[in-house]
């Protein structure tokens, strides 16, 4: 394989690549570490072992798996590989295209769980799947203020104790650029007897078009955009800038929610900051406290 160590882009759509072929490509990505852009569109296999392509230690940044008949189980396996890991095994994938597969709300739930800790993904394409409003909500809810689960709180505390016990080693790792800083450790704060976190503010492009969505999802998306605009203070380097929810049961004509959604996206893309009064209906008191706490921690 060493003779291919200069390949950075690999496009193999519709090449009848089976599960064994996926294993070989995954080994190439891990062992040689040169491939960054991989297109395997229209290469379904019954084992759905595409998650091997996202294994820790790989170099892949762009992965397209359109029309691969990926089910909820396949989506779950991919999502599990893309959850947070300590450097140098942290996820590096920036763009994931899972368009035109067979992912329902269950698969969307696994993807949402992944987004709780993944901070590498900037673009997620789920166009043409089988998600309903509930599935889309399971993704959008992770892009807003979240309440940490019991096991997540335990993990945050475990890491804090580990840092205290291994302070010198931690300092060395920080100097070397391998600080073991779990997102929930730096993004969460105690509030009203709970641990609240700011949610995923790294994803910038989300395509949910041509799923089984209705107008009801517009309000959830609007709430998400208001929250992110409020938290990011017009910062265009983070947060949703592009959200596509075309097709299905979404009505545009004369739809006030659609007009509000479209205007919010325009404001996010231009970096326009809204006046504080514009947030009152959509941003909770907890979000205000969280923004102050998070900004203070960065100062």
User: Residues 276-285: pLDDT tens digits?
Assistant: 666 667 778 8
Sketch the domain layout of the chain as residue ranges.
70-145+198-298, 150-195
Q: Is 284 exposed, middle or buried (0-12, 13-18, 19+ CB in 10 A)?
A: middle
The tokens for 15 are 């090449």
pTM comes to 0.93
**For the chain, what's the residue count?**
299
Q: Over pLDDT 70: what percentage of the chain? A: 90
Mode of pairing for the β-strands spanning 146-147 and 123-125: unpaired
Distance CA 46, CA 121 (A): 26
Q: Convert the pLDDT of each residue in 39-90 to its tens digit.
A: 999 999 999 999 999 988 788 999 999 999 999 999 999 999 999 998 888 8
Of all helices (H) and strands (E), which one includes residue 75? Answer: helix 72-81
pLDDT in tens, the chain (299 residues): 556 678 899 999 999 999 999 999 999 888 888 899 999 999 999 999 999 999 887 889 999 999 999 999 999 999 999 999 988 888 999 999 999 999 999 999 999 999 999 999 999 999 999 999 999 999 999 999 999 999 999 988 888 877 776 655 555 455 444 455 789 988 999 998 999 999 999 999 999 999 999 999 999 999 999 999 999 988 899 999 999 999 878 989 989 999 999 999 999 999 887 776 666 677 788 888 888 887 776 55
Sign of CA dihedral 162, 297, 206, 62: negative
Q: Is 238 helix (H, G, I), strand (E, B) or coil?
A: coil
Please give the pLDDT value at position 241: 97
Mean pLDDT of the residues in the chain: 89
Mode of pairing for the β-strands spanning 194-197 and 188-191: antiparallel
Superfamily of domain covering 70-145+198-298: Ribonuclease Inhibitor (3.80.10.10)
The tokens for 233 are 């203070």
Alpha helices (H) along the chain: 19-32, 72-81, 105-115, 133-140, 150-165, 167-175, 183-187, 216-232, 256-270, 285-298
CA atoms within 13 A on the CB side of 239: 24
CA proximity to 242, closest of 221, 217, 216: 221
Sign of CA dihedral 133, 125, 85, 76: positive
By the 8 A CB rule, do 82 and 118 touch?
A: yes
Please give the pLDDT value at position 295: 75
Distance CA 194, CA 40 (A): 43
Please give the pLDDT value at position 158: 86
Please give the pLDDT value at position 14: 98
Please give the pLDDT value at position 106: 98
CA proximity to 73, closest of 40, 104, 117, 112: 104
């Amino acid at each position: 394989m060493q003779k291919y160590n200069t390949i950075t882009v690999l496009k193999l759509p519709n090449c009848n690549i089976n599960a064994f072929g996926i294993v070989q490509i995954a080994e190439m990505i891990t062992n040689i570490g040169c491939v960054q852009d991989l297109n395997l569109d229209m290469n379904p296999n019954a084992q759905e072992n595409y998650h091997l392509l996202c294994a820790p230690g790989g170099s892949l940044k762009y992965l397209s798996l359109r029309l691969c008949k990926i089910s909820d189980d396949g989506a779950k396996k991919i999502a599990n590989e893309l959850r947070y890991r300590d450097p140098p095994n942290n996820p590096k994938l920036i763009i994931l295209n899972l368009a035109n597969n067979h992912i329902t709300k269950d698969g969307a739930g696994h993807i949402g769980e992944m987004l709780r800790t993944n901070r590498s993904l900037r673009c997620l394409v789920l166009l043409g799947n089988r998600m309903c409003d509930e599935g889309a909500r399971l993704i959008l809810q992770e892009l807003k203020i979240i309440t940490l689960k019991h096991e997540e709180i335990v993990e945050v505390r475990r890491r804090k104790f580990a840092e205290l016990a291994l302070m010198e080693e931690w300092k060395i790792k920080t100097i070397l650029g391998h600080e073991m800083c779990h997102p929930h450790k730096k993004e969460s704060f105690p509030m009203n007897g709970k641990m609240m976190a700011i949610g995923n503010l790294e994803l910038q492009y989300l395509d949910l078009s041509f799923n089984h969505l209705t107008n009801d999802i517009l309000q959830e998306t609007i709430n998400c955009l208001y929250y992110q605009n409020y938290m990011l203070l017009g910062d265009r380097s983070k947060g949703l800038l592009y959200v596509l929810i075309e097709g299905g049961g979404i009505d545009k004509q004369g739809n006030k929610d659609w007009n509000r959604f479209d205007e919010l996206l325009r404001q996010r893309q231009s970096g326009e900051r809204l006046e504080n009064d514009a947030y009152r209906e959509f941003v909770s008191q907890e979000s205000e406290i969280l923004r102050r706490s998070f900004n203070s921690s960065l100062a």
